[in-house]
Chain A
């Protein structure tokens, strides 16, 4: 099935460091969602983006809707051990008509205390 490209695939960082990850597509999207998933749980919504260029924050998390509408970015500032998990982007196409979301391949984050 179709999935969006996320990078990096995985990263180990020290506690307190900032983290950046991105999601890219060859198609235009009109909505981007960012999720975090921990083992054995469903994805938890972190941030929703609805307009090209939009920058939205949720605590230490900041996400941006790329101006080309083909990408999105997530930053985590001052990471802490509980940030460990898999982060997924999800995009909804402008022409989908069915409102389904296409998910990225995920970025696995591990924080070293």
Chain B
């Protein structure tokens, strides 16, 4: 596809359930980022991949959050035992190289934990 795609667009989970959010970056993009955006706030960094290597996971809020990109393309963000404070929009972005490159975002997945 032409842009970054994410699925599902909306997810409702009951507290304690596990969820998996998918990101398809722009074809050929080396770098992939996950961000969390709370209502009324700017995106906050979660984790960064360069190809299949997860080089920075300093933004993951707890060990319930896990991300992978096994083949250096599609990425999955998994949240185990969801809590109400996990409710947010999860954004994925990709860029063509490593370093100072423009990031292009997907539409996001809105997660609501009830």
Interface flag for B72 (CB, 8 Å): no
Which chain B residue has the least Cβ–Cβ distance from A30? Answer: B100
Closest to A102 in B: B45
**Interface magnitude class on chain A:** 20 to 34
Residues of B in contact (CB 8 Å), total 29
Closest B residue to A94 by beta carbon equals B100
Could you say which residues of chain A place their CB within 8 Å of the CB of B48? 98-100
Partner pick for A45 among B59, B104, B106, CB 8 A cutoff = B104
Contact of B102 among A1, A33, A42, A105 (CB under 8 A): A33
Pick the contact of A88: B43, B100, B101 (CB < 8 A): B43
Task: Please judge, given known A-B contacts A1-B44, A106-B42, whether A42 and B59 are in contact too, CB under 8 Å.
Answer: no
Q: Is the CB of B91 within 8 A of A103?
A: no
Contact call B105/A43, Cβ cutoff below 8 A: yes
**Are the CB atoms of B102 and A48 closer together than 8 Å?**
yes
A103 in contact with B100 (CB, 8 Å): no
- Shortest distance between the CB of B48 and any CB in chain A (Å): 5
**Chain B residues near A50 (CB, 8 Å)?**
100
List, in ascending order, chain A residues with CB within 8 A of B25's CB: none
B56 at the interface (CB under 8 A from A): yes
Q: B100 contacts which of A3, A31, A105 (Cβ < 8 Å)?
A: A31
Interface residues of B in 1-51 (CB under 8 A from A): 4, 31, 33, 35, 40-45, 48
List residues of chain B with CB within 8 A of the CB of A98: 48, 55-56, 58
Contact A3 B42 (CB under 8 A): yes
A88 to B52, CA, bound (A): 29
Interface string of B41-81 (1 = CB under 8 A from A): 11111001000000110110000000000000000000000
Known: A42-B4, A42-B106, A45-B102. 6 other contacts (CB 8 A): A1-B59, A3-B44, A88-B42, A98-B48, A100-B33, A100-B56
Residues in chain B within 8 A of chain A (CB atoms): 4, 31, 33, 35, 40-45, 48, 55-56, 58-59, 91, 93, 95, 98-108
Can you list 28 A-B pairs, Cβ within 8 angstroms, ordered by A?
A: A3-B41, A3-B42, A4-B42, A30-B100, A33-B103, A35-B105, A40-B107, A41-B107, A41-B108, A42-B93, A43-B91, A43-B105, A44-B105, A45-B103, A45-B105, A48-B102, A88-B42, A88-B43, A90-B42, A98-B48, A98-B55, A98-B58, A99-B31, A101-B45, A103-B44, A105-B41, A105-B42, A106-B40
